[in-house]
Every structure is written in C-alpha cells, then in structure tokens.
A and B are shown apart, each in its own frame.
Chain A
Amino acid sequence: MSRFTVEVLVTPRPGLLDPQGKAIHHALASLGYDAVEDVRVGKAIYLEVAAASAEEAAERVEEACRKLLANPVTEDFRVTAETHR
C-alpha cells in the first residue's frame, strides 16, 4: 500500500449560471483586466488515500465523487492522483 494525494476539482457544469464567477468577473473588469472573458468558480478537495496504485486511488475517489463530493445535476468533477510527498 502506498499513500496518494488525490485532488478533486469540482466545477459548475457548462451553461449553469455561476453568480460567484460573475461577481469575480465584474471585480476583475473594474480592476482593468479587460482580457478576462469569463470566470467560473469551483472547489478543490484534497484527499490522502492509501491504495496499491494511483489508478486504484483515483477510482475509489471517483466513486466517492459520484456519491457525495459532486452533485451530478449541477457539477462536473476531475480527479488526479499523485504519490504522496
């Protein structure tokens, strides 16, 4: 068994209104960042997972994402597992 750091990125699904992203976009525009065309806000969740391989760690966490960590109605998720440092 090794230990892996698994990063879960949860993001609002495309097309979904993201008021937080809109507010940040607005603030950036008022600071002069005119090149910013869109902002979407999600969240990052970090898990320390014991598993035989990075693939196994990622699989376990993907299952947890479908069950709990992301809401399939409104959110997408992306899972990346790295050897724990």
Chain B
Amino acid sequence: MNVAVVTFPGSNCDQDCHRSVELAGGSPQYVWHRETTLGGAEAVIVPGGFAHGDYLRPGAIARFSPIMDAIIDFAREGGLVVGICNGFQVLCEAGLLPGALLRNRSLRFQSHDCWLRVERAGTPYTREYREGQVIRMPLSHADGNYYADAGTLAELEAEGRVVFRYCDARGDVTPEANPNGSLNHVAGIMNRRGNVLGMMPHPDRAIEEVLGSVDGLPLFESLVGTEVTAAARSEVA
C-alpha cells in the first residue's frame, strides 16, 4: 500500500511515520505541505510535531496548507486518513473530526508512556488488535485535552467511535490514568464513516523493541493491510 506521509514546516514525526509504514510492509512517500495532490496514495498520515509553530492554535494554520484541500477531498471520498498527535489537532481544525484539543489540564507538556485500551477492534486501524487489549506507547503534547460538546460526546460513545481510551496498566479507566483531562478519557476517535482516525499518543514511537514498546506497530499493519477500493484512492495528477 502506498501511504502519503505529510510534512509541514515544524513536523517532527514524519520520519517516525515513514519508518512505521515501512516496517509494516507498506510503501511510504513524503508529501510536502505545499503540494496539491497526494500522488495516488491509498492512505494518508498526518504526523506529529508543531506544524507552523503551533501559532494561534495547534493545527489552525496547518489546516490551510495547500495539501489540506486534497486531504479533505480524499477523506470525503472514503480515503484512509490518520492524524497522530499534532496530526489529530490538524484534522479537528480541518473539520474532519469533531471536537478540539485543549491545553492539558496540568498546564504541563506531558511526555511519558501511557496505557491505552483498544475500545474498537476491526477498524482499518485496529484490525490487528483485540477489543479490550491494553497497549503502551509514548505521548508527548501540551494540548491533548480532548473536548467536544455533550451532544457530540454522547454521539461518539453511542456510535462506538472512541477507538482508544487512556487507562492504567490493568486496563481500568481511572482519573489518575488520564494524562491531560480529556473528556471520557478519549485518546483517539474516528469519524462517522470510519475512515478517519485521530489520536494523541504516538504509535509511531512504539514500533521496535529498542524503543521500549512495539504496541504501535499493529496499527500500521492494520492500515497497510486494509483493502482499498478504487474510490478511496487519491488521484495521480
């Protein structure tokens, strides 16, 4: 599978995502944010970092980078788009995912491992996990406090669109295990159609033993192994 990894000025996890796709058996290609097409990619990763310096709000300026129109069109056609960390913030700003990521409740930049419970297996991003599986990976953000109005949050829950939730090592969702104050302990969500995923923790930093965890690799293996229909393939310019 050809996977576009978008690079904005200030992205710093594009290389991690590139390697993640490679290790999962896919073919990654970098796409600079000033491009206007995705070059026939079958999936898109919007990586972590500080796109455009996080000025104004994280993702607010990146959302208007030239490549974003192509990504929004691609997502609307059903194309697979995943945003990790800053990428999640960009997708929320772009309106591809509901809600927003606010400043961490602690007001601190949180940078440590976290535990996640896989709430939804069987999605294009979680087919290689078991439902309820507890996984560990790093998180690294100042603005990861997921917020959506009560109606939107209820909808996300009712439709099973909370894909990952912060938990402790045993899989219990406790207040202490919530690193940033996210409502309902949300760590990752999908859009209604199920083709767009956003998550704050970094599966791309948990793909090799040397990194301390390999729990992120199945996400990329799920993605790379997903059958893509012709409609959900980006146009080659």
**Chain A contacts to B: CB under 8 angstroms:** 16-17, 19-20, 23, 68-69, 71, 73-74
Which of chain B's residues have a CB closer than 8 A to the CB of A23? 107
Taking a contact as CB atoms under 8 Å apart, the answer to whether B100 and A73 are in contact is yes
From B102, which residue of chain A is reached at the shortest CB distance?
A74
Mask of B123-152 contacts with A, CB within 8 angstroms, 1/0? 000000000000000000000010111000
Which of chain A's residues have a CB closer than 8 A to the CB of B56? 68-69
Which of chain B's residues have a CB closer than 8 A to the CB of A73? 92, 98-100, 147-149
Report whether over half of chain B's contact residues are helix, strand or loop; otherwise say mixed. Answer: loop
| Number of residue pairs spanning A and B whose beta carbons lie under 8 angstroms apart | 37
**Chain B contacts to A: CB under 8 angstroms:** 56-57, 60-61, 64, 92-93, 98-100, 102-107, 145, 147-149, 181
Which of chain A's residues have a CB closer than 8 A to the CB of B148? 73
10 A-B pairs (CB sep. < 8 Å): A16-B147, A19-B107, A20-B103, A20-B107, A68-B56, A71-B57, A73-B147, A73-B149, A74-B100, A74-B147
Shortest distance between the CB of A41 and any CB in chain B (Å): 10
Taking a contact as CB atoms under 8 Å apart, the answer to whether A17 and B107 are in contact is no
Q: Which one, A20, A68, A69, A71, contacts B100 given CB within 8 A?
A: A71
From B63, which residue of chain A is reached at the shortest CB distance?
A68
Taking a contact as CB atoms under 8 Å apart, the answer to whether A19 and B147 are in contact is no
- How far is B148's CA from A71's CA once the two chains are assembled, in angstroms? 12
- How far is B56's CA from A69's CA once the two chains are assembled, in angstroms? 7
- Extra pairs beyond A19-B107, A73-B92, A74-B102 (15, CB < 8 Å): A17-B105, A17-B145, A17-B147, A17-B181, A19-B103, A19-B105, A19-B145, A19-B181, A20-B107, A68-B56, A68-B60, A69-B56, A71-B57, A73-B100, A73-B149
- How far is B127's CA from A50's CA once the two chains are assembled, in angstroms? 55
From B183, which residue of chain A is reached at the shortest CB distance?
A17
Taking a contact as CB atoms under 8 Å apart, the answer to whether A17 and B102 are in contact is yes
Which of chain A's residues have a CB closer than 8 A to the CB of B98? 73
Which of chain B's residues have a CB closer than 8 A to the CB of A16? 102, 147
Shortest distance between the CB of A20 and any CB in chain B (Å): 7
- How far is B130's CA from A7's CA once the two chains are assembled, in angstroms? 52
Q: Which 4 pairs, one residue from A and one from B, show the smallest C-beta to C-beta distance?
A: A73-B100, A74-B100, A19-B107, A19-B105
- How far is B61's CA from A35's CA once the two chains are assembled, in angstroms? 39
From B150, which residue of chain A is reached at the shortest CB distance?
A15
